[in-house]
Structure formats: C-alpha cells, structure tokens
C-alpha cells in the first residue's frame, strides 16, 4: 500500500488523542507547533501530559473512555493505546465518517500514517516507510536535520523575496525554476552565508544568461 504525502493546515482544527500515556505524549509534542485544538481522552494520564495541559491553552483533557461523540466532533484522531478493541472501535467510527485516523503501531486501523517530522519555522519535512520500518524514517530524519542550515528561516525568506521579484521579470516557469536552482547552488557554495543583495546580484546575472 502507498500513502500520498499531503501537507494539511490543522490550525484551529479539532484533534482527538485517545490515550494519555507516553506514546500519546510524543504525538502531542509533535502536534503542538501546528496550533490545533487538541482534546485528550483517557481514564488515566501521565504527569508529562498534565504539565503540557498547564502550559498550552489549546489542550483539553477528558477523564473518561472515548465515545462516539468525541470521535465525530474531530477533524483527525490519533489512537495511542495498546487496546486492540479500542483501536478497532475508534477506527471504524472514523472511517464511517471520513475522519483521518492514525492508530499507533496498528496499521490495519489507520487511514494515515504519522510521519517522522522535522519542523523548523516555515520548513516541514516528513519521513514515512508505510509503517514497515519506522526506525529508517527516524534515521533519515537525523541525517537530514544535520544537513539543514542553521539559518534556514533566513534562507527561506530570501528565496521567497527573490522568487516574487523573478515572477515580474520572467514569464516562463521553467526558466524561473532554473534560475532559482542556480541561486540555491550559489547559496550552498557559500555555506548559505550571503546577504540578500548578493543573491539579488546573482539572480540578475542568471537572468542575463537566460
């Protein structure tokens, strides 16, 4: 089975976490930067999640077992329990109502896979092996994270401004792509330590060539 990688805006969306143990904690930590409204439903809760509840106004805890109403009010559900019957129940309701469901370490009850994530400001990267070898995803995440420039946010902003200027000067998308790639190669050769003016001058040279 193949999964299409889709980046979805979950800001202010209702996300349901079923379970409040260590697995749930790791998922919540990954979701918090995306500013969704997270509801945690479980009869028991670990101290780490209690601390998160105090620190984040977008987190809510319900001390009970999950029910149909909890699920139906959600945009996305993550089932972080080791209870097969709960996983199956939650997955069934989600699939019947076209709600995204991820059941941790239970691929049969998933409609999407929670990837290994890198999140740095406006850069988000996901790694997925379709649940077959998650340690490979984690390993590739580690390698990639070490390769990302420390000033990636500045790099993104500079290239965004250059791209907008380029749209006004070059009508061909293919030519714009070649020029942007040339700018990025030049940026990389200089360890991503160039000013916007340096990059703009390089862009003009590349425009003249094309």
Summary count for the chain: helices (H), strands (E):
8, 7
Over residues 5-32, the pLDDT tens digits come to 888 999 999 999 999 999 999 999 999 9
How many angstroms from the chain centroid is the CA of residue 90?
A: 23
pLDDT greater than 70 at residue 1: no
Residues 187-204: pLDDT tens digits?
999 999 999 999 999 999
Q: Please determine, for residue 114, whether its predicted confidence score (pLDDT) is greater than 90.
A: no
Helix (H, G, I), strand (E, B) or coil at 17: strand
How many angstroms separate the CA atoms of 27 and 54, rounded? 17
Strand residues in the chain grouped as ranges (E)? 14-18, 37-41, 59-62, 76-79, 100-103, 116-120, 123-127
Number of residues written out for the chain: 210
Is the Cβ–Cβ distance between 81 and 89 less than 8 Å? no
pLDDT of residue 52: 97
Mean pLDDT confidence for 139-147? 94
Tokens representing 40 are 């945690």
170 contact partners, CB below 8 Å, separation of at least 6 = 176, 179, 207, 210
Q: Which one-letter DSSP state was computed for residue 124?
A: E
Residue-averaged pLDDT of the chain: 93
Beta bridge partners of 51: none
Q: Is 182 helix (H, G, I), strand (E, B) or coil?
A: helix
pLDDT in tens, 47-56: 999 999 999 9
Q: Average pLDDT, stretch 115-126?
A: 91
What's phi and psi for 106, nearest 5 deg? -145, 70
> Quick one: tokens of 9?
């805006």
pLDDT for residue 5: 85
């Amino acid at each position: 089975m193949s999964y299409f990688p889709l980046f979805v805006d979950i800001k202010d969306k209702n996300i349901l976490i079923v379970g409040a143990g260590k697995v749930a904690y790791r998922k919540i930590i990954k979701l918090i930067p995306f500013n969704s409204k997270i509801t945690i439903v479980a009869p028991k809760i670990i101290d780490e999640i209690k601390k998160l509840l105090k620190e984040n106004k977008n987190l809510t805890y319900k001390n009970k077992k999950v029910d149909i109403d909890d699920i139906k009010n959600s945009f996305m559900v993550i089932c972080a329990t080791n209870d097969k019957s709960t996983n199956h129940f939650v997955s069934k309701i989600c699939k019947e109502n076209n709600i995204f469901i991820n059941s941790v370490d239970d691929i049969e009850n998933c409609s999407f896979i929670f990837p290994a994530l890198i999140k740095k400001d406006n850069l988000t990267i996901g790694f997925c092996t379709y649940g077959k070898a998650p340690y490979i995803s984690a390993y590739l995440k580690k390698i990639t994270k070490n390769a990302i420039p420390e000033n990636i946010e500045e790099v993104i902003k500079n290239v965004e401004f250059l791209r907008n200027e380029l749209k006004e000067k070059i009508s061909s998308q293919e030519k714009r792509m070649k020029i942007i790639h040339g700018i990025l190669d030049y940026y990389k050769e200089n360890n991503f330590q160039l000013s916007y003016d340096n990059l703009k001058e390089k862009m003009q040279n590349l425009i003249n060539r094309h």
